[in-house]
């Protein structure tokens, strides 16, 4: 399953909004197959703050572990935020490279 984060807005900031986004996504997540991967697509997102991402992505990482896949992004705020979260959580996100993405299609 692919999730376009842009559906939550182009500017993803604040813990409160990240928490609300996760709550809105929970019904979809409950229907999610345990064998299925969740791909996070950052296309269209202009700003991703560490606080929003910590409320949304960190719980998904804890819940889905290796099944959570971050798709490539050229957005510097996404890169910086993911780096911050990996250091804070002391665990890496699985990030799909553009070569992996091409070979899947």
Cβ within 8 Å of residue 34, ≥6 positions away: 67
Supply the pLDDT for residue 33. 85
Supply the pLDDT for residue 101. 43
Supply the pLDDT for residue 98. 60
Range of the domain at 37: 2-104
Q: How many domains does the chain have?
A: 1
Supply the pLDDT for residue 102. 41
Supply the pLDDT for residue 34. 81
Residue ranges in the chain whose pLDDT is less than 70: 98-105
């Amino acid at each position: 399953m692919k999730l376009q984060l842009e559906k939550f807005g182009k500017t993803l900031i604040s813990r409160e909004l990240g928490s609300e986004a996760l709550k809105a996504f929970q019904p979809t997540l409950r229907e999610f197959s345990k064998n299925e991967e969740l791909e996070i697509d950052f296309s269209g997102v202009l700003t991703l703050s560490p606080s929003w991402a910590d409320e949304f992505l960190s719980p998904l990482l804890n819940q889905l572990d290796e099944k959570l896949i971050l798709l490539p992004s050229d957005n510097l705020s996404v890169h910086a935020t993911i780096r911050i979260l990996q250091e804070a959580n002391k665990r890496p996100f699985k990030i799909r490279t553009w070569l992996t993405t091409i070979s899947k299609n």
